[in-house]
Structure 1
C-alpha cells in the first residue's frame, strides 16, 4: 500500500471501533529501525509512546527514543532484546514481530507524516473517550450540574489543544524575520506607529509599543490603588476604537462596573450614580442630606449611556472562573463575525485551577492558571491583561513602590508574563500616614521638629493628589521604567497626563 493510504486510513475496522492507524505505526517503526538517526528528529519532539494504539508499538518506540537520546542507533537486534519478555507481547514472538515491522517500512522521506497520522488518531481517541465520559455523566450526573459537565468538556478540550500545539513544526529564523517584517508593514498600512493595539493611554503606548497579539500582560497593585479602574479604562478605550473586548470581574457586579464607566463620562462620583445625589458639593448643613443630581448631570449620564451603546465591551461576572470556562467564551467570541481583540481579567487571584491543582496548593494552582492563560493568548492570537493583587510585604517597607517579589501566590505568573507592571499612587500611603500615627508626636521629638514634619507631610500630600505611576519592571518586547498617569478619585478614572481632565472619558470611533 502507498504512503497516502497509510496516512489517511489505517486499520479502522468497524465503524464504532476506536480511531487508530496501526499501519502508520508499523511504517514509522520500520523507518526508525532502518535509519533512526534520520527519522527520529522528525517525530521525537511531539510523538510520545502513549500516542501509539498498539501497546507493543509504543514500547518499541519508547526503547528507540531512549536509545536515540543516548546517542545509540536503534536497530532490530537491540530492540528485540529490549522487548523480550514484555507483557505487551501477548504471545507474539519478538523476532517475528520485528521482521513484520521491517517489511511494513514503506519509505523514510514521509516518516514525519506517519508520525502526524499516529498523533491524529490519538487525538481522535482522546476526543471520543472524553465525549463518552461526558455522555455517561449526562445520563447519570452524580451530583454534577449541566454547567459542571460543560466545564469538564472544555477542560478536556483545552488539554487536547495544548498537546496539539506541541506538534506544530519549527519555524526557521528567516521565516520568523519575514513574519516580524510583515507585522511592521501591517502597522504602516494601518497608519499606526504601534506594533499592537493601543492601550488607550499614549504614555503606555510610548513605553511598550502597544499590546501585542499573543502577549500576557500582568498588572499588579495593592487594594485601593485603582487596578480595576485602570483595567476597565483600558478595556473601555480599546473597545471604543472598535476592538471587541471581554472584561471578566471576579468581585464586582456588572452594574458596579457600569457605574464607574458612567461616572467617568459624566465627571461624577460613582456614589452619585447609585444614589442620585451630588457628592461634588457638601451636604446640607441643616438636614445632613445631599442635594439631588441636577438635570444637566442626569443628561450627562444619559449621554454616557448613549455613547457606550456602540462600544463592543462585554462584561463577564461569573465567580470562580477557570481557564477552561474563559476559553469556551473567548473562543466563541473570536470565531464570531465581530471577533475578539483583547481580554482583561480582574483579578487573576480570583480564578480557579483544576481540582488536582487545588489539592497541590495555591502556588501550583496559580502556576496552572498562568500557563493556561499564556497558552490561551497564543491560541487566540489576542493579548490578555491579568490584574493581580500584591501581598502585604509592600506595607512593611519604607519605600512602598512594588517589586516582583510582592506578587501574591503568583506561581508562574511572573515567568509566563511578557510584561510585569505595578500600579502605584503615593497619595494613598501619605493619606494613610496622615490619618494614622503619622501626625502623632514621636518620643524625643521637639515641637519644632513635629511641626516641620507635619508641614512636610501636608505638602507632599498636596503634591501627590491625582498622580499615579505604572512601574514597568519586566518587558520582553521593550524597555522598563515609569509611566505617569492622572487619577480622579471621585470618578475612579485614569487619564493620560497630556489629557484635558474635562475631555470625554473615552471617544467612540465610528468606522465606515
Structure 2
C-alpha cells in the first residue's frame, strides 16, 4: 500500500508551503475495497461523491465504479481496465495495472465505511480552506468595484454550503418513522387546546381553518394596496413570538410550543415603522397619534408598559432594502443558527431581487419564479414556515366583484405553483368608501346602510391549501391600529363554489 500511495501522490505539488488536508492512502484503500466487494457501494454512494477525492484519478475511478454497479455490472480491475487505457494520469503511475494494485489489501474491506467518512471529512476541510482563501483574496482586493457587504454575504452563503454538506445525507424515511412524525403532530394539536398542529397565527378563526402554519410551508398572503397585507403579516409574526414566550414561561418544552421566535424581513417599511405598528396594536393608540405625539400622559404610561413587555420578545426585524434572494437566504440561515428562529415573514415578495440583471417583462417573470422557488427551498432547508406577502395585478380593479382570484397573482404563475397556501385579503368597506355618493343623492341612505353593515370587516380567502379545504375566514380589522382580530361568534365559511 505504501508503494501505491507514493505513486498516487506523485502528482502532488511539493512546493506547496502547507499541504491541503488529504489522505491518499485512505482513498486508495476505499477504491480497492469497493472493487473487491461491490455491495459496499450502497453504503458510501449516498454521501461520497467523486469531487470529495483529493486525487482526480481516484475520483474518476470512483465514478466508473458507480456507473458499472448502477448497470448491475461487476466493477473490478478487469471490467474497469478498458475505461482507463487511454487515461493519461493512470499511464504516469504504471498504466491500467494500477487498478489491480489498489485491490492488493483485502483487509481494507473491513474499514471501508471509516475510509469513506474520513475522505468526506477531509474534503469538507479543503472546502473550508477554499472559502477562507477566497475571503482573504477578496478582502485584500481594494479595486473600486468591490462591495465589502456583498463579499460578507457571499462568504456566508459559501460557509453555509460547506456546513450543509456536513449534515446528515438525505435518506428515505421508513413508513414507521413517517407515522411517528404524524402521531407527534396530532399529539401537538391535541395538547395545544386549539387544534393546532403548526405555529399559531394568533387568530382562532384562521387557526381553525388551517390548523396553524406548518414547517417547510411557503405561505403567500396577497392583496391589492391598502388591504392590510403588512398588518396581517406583522400581527401574525407578533402573535407567534408572544405565544412562544408564554409557552416557555408556562414550562412547555420549546420544541412543543405552538409559537416561535420570528424574523421579519421588511423591504418596504423601516424597523421603527414596524415597531410603531406593533406598539399601536398592543397599546390601543392609533399609529398616527403615536407618530404625531397626540397622546395623553396616561396613554404614554400605557405605551411605556407595552414597550417594556415587548423588549424581551424574540421578534427580529431586518429592514435592509433591495435584498437579493441569495442575501435573504444567507441572513435567514444566520438567524436560524444564532437565534433559533422558527417562522419567517417577508414584506414583500416583489421587492426582492433575483440573481439576473435583465429588466424585460420576460426576465421579470423568470426572476419572480426564481424568488418563489428560492423561498420554498428556504422553508424546506430551515424547516420553518415562510410567509411572503405579495402584490396582486390590477386585473382585480377591472371586475365588478373585487375579491381576488389565483389568476391575479402578479407576474408569475410559479408563485401559485410553489406555494403550499395562498391567502387573499379582501376588505369590502375599502372599495365601498370610494363609491360614496353625495349627501343629497337618492342612493346615499342605501350606501350608508351598507357601509355600516360591512365597516371594519375583512375576509381572508384561503384560495389554496395543500393540507385542507379552501374557503373564507371573516374577521375584524381596525384600521386605526392596523390590527386583525376574530369576529365575535364567527367561525369560517365553507368553500365557495
Task: Sort the TM-score into its range (normalised by shorter chain).
Answer: 0.7 to 0.9
Q: Is 1:429 aligned to 2:431, yes or no?
A: yes
SS of corresponding position for 2:104: helix
| Equivalent pair of 1:357/1:368 in contact (CA under 8 Å) | no
Distance between the aligned counterparts of 1:456 and 1:103, measured in 2?
A: 95
Distance between the aligned counterparts of 1:399 and 1:35, measured in 2?
A: 69
**Structure 1 residue 397: Cα displacement:** 4.0
| Equivalent pair of 2:188/2:196 in contact (CA under 8 Å) | no
2:486 matched residue in structure 1: 496
**Structure 1 residue 330: Cα displacement:** 4.3
Distance between the aligned counterparts of 2:431 and 2:193, measured in 1?
A: 42
The Cα RMSD (Å) is 3.7
Pair 330,157 (structure 1): closer, same or farther in 2 beyond 3 Å: same
**Structure 1 residue 228: Cα displacement:** 0.4
Structure 2: gaps of 5 or more residues: 2-11, 246-259, 491-497
Pair 489,85 (structure 1): closer, same or farther in 2 beyond 3 Å: same
For normalisation by structure 1, the TM-score amounts to: 0.77
**Structure 1 residue 94: Cα displacement:** 4.1
Pair 363,22 (structure 1): closer, same or farther in 2 beyond 3 Å: farther
Pair 80,402 (structure 1): closer, same or farther in 2 beyond 3 Å: farther
2:293 matched residue in structure 1: 276
Pair 129,341 (structure 1): closer, same or farther in 2 beyond 3 Å: same
Alignment of 1:279-294 (within 5 A): 293-294=295-296
State which of 242, 247, 269 in structure 1 corresponds to 2:264.
247
Pair 390,28 (structure 1): closer, same or farther in 2 beyond 3 Å: farther
State which of 208, 211, 215 in structure 2 corresponds to 1:209.
211
**Structure 1 residue 467: Cα displacement:** 1.9
Distance between the aligned counterparts of 2:193 and 2:454, measured in 1?
A: 37
SS of corresponding position for 1:160: helix
**Structure 1 residue 221: Cα displacement:** 2.0
State which of 459, 464, 470 in structure 2 corresponds to 1:480.
470
1:260 matched residue in structure 2: 277
| Equivalent pair of 1:366/1:411 in contact (CA under 8 Å) | no
Write out per-residue CA displacement over residues 29-63 of structure 1, whole angstroms, 9 at most, x where no aligned residue: 33443343x33433444443333222222222333
**Structure 1 residue 72: Cα displacement:** 3.8
Distance between the aligned counterparts of 2:374 and 2:164, measured in 1?
A: 9
Of 345-354 and 110-119, the range deviating more from structure 2: 110-119
Pair 55,210 (structure 1): closer, same or farther in 2 beyond 3 Å: same
Pair 186,451 (structure 1): closer, same or farther in 2 beyond 3 Å: closer
2:461 matched residue in structure 1: 471
Write out per-residue CA displacement over residues 452-479 of structure 1, whole angstroms, 9 at most, x where no aligned residue: 7x87766554433222222223333333
Distance between the aligned counterparts of 2:58 and 2:323, measured in 1?
A: 41
Alignment of 1:365-404 (within 5 A): 365-404=367-406
1:508 matched residue in structure 2: none
| Equivalent pair of 1:358/1:365 in contact (CA under 8 Å) | no
Distance between the aligned counterparts of 1:100 and 1:400, measured in 2?
A: 76
Distance between the aligned counterparts of 1:111 and 1:367, measured in 2?
A: 43
SS of corresponding position for 2:96: helix
| Equivalent pair of 2:392/2:408 in contact (CA under 8 Å) | yes
Of 479-488 and 83-92, the range deviating more from structure 2: 83-92
**Structure 1 residue 412: Cα displacement:** 4.9
Of 41-50 and 309-318, the range deviating more from structure 2: 41-50
Structure 1: gaps of 5 or more residues: 2-10, 278-292, 441-449, 501-512
1:98 matched residue in structure 2: 99
SS of corresponding position for 1:494: strand
Distance between the aligned counterparts of 1:322 and 1:168, measured in 2?
A: 27
Pair 107,465 (structure 1): closer, same or farther in 2 beyond 3 Å: farther
| Equivalent pair of 1:219/1:386 in contact (CA under 8 Å) | yes
2:148 matched residue in structure 1: 146
Write out per-residue CA displacement over residues 487-512 of structure 1, whole angstroms, 9 at most, x where no aligned residue: 11222221111389xxxxxxxxxxxx
Pair 187,463 (structure 1): closer, same or farther in 2 beyond 3 Å: closer
1:228 matched residue in structure 2: 230
Pair 183,65 (structure 1): closer, same or farther in 2 beyond 3 Å: same
**Structure 1 residue 224: Cα displacement:** 1.6
| Equivalent pair of 1:27/1:105 in contact (CA under 8 Å) | no
1:347 matched residue in structure 2: 348
**Structure 1 residue 226: Cα displacement:** 0.8
1:30 matched residue in structure 2: 32
**Structure 1 residue 135: Cα displacement:** 0.8
Write out per-residue CA displacement over residues 344-376 of structure 1, whole angstroms, 9 at most, x where no aligned residue: 111122223446899994444444444444444
| Equivalent pair of 1:424/1:471 in contact (CA under 8 Å) | yes
Q: Is 1:56 aligned to 2:73, yes or no?
A: no
| Equivalent pair of 2:379/2:386 in contact (CA under 8 Å) | yes
Pair 114,309 (structure 1): closer, same or farther in 2 beyond 3 Å: same
| Equivalent pair of 1:203/1:483 in contact (CA under 8 Å) | yes
Alignment of 1:101-140 (within 5 A): 101-103=102-104, 106=107, 111=112, 114-140=115-141
Distance between the aligned counterparts of 1:160 and 1:126, measured in 2?
A: 7
Distance between the aligned counterparts of 1:190 and 1:113, measured in 2?
A: 45
Distance between the aligned counterparts of 1:19 and 1:208, measured in 2?
A: 51
Distance between the aligned counterparts of 2:464 and 2:111, measured in 1?
A: 44
SS of corresponding position for 1:103: coil
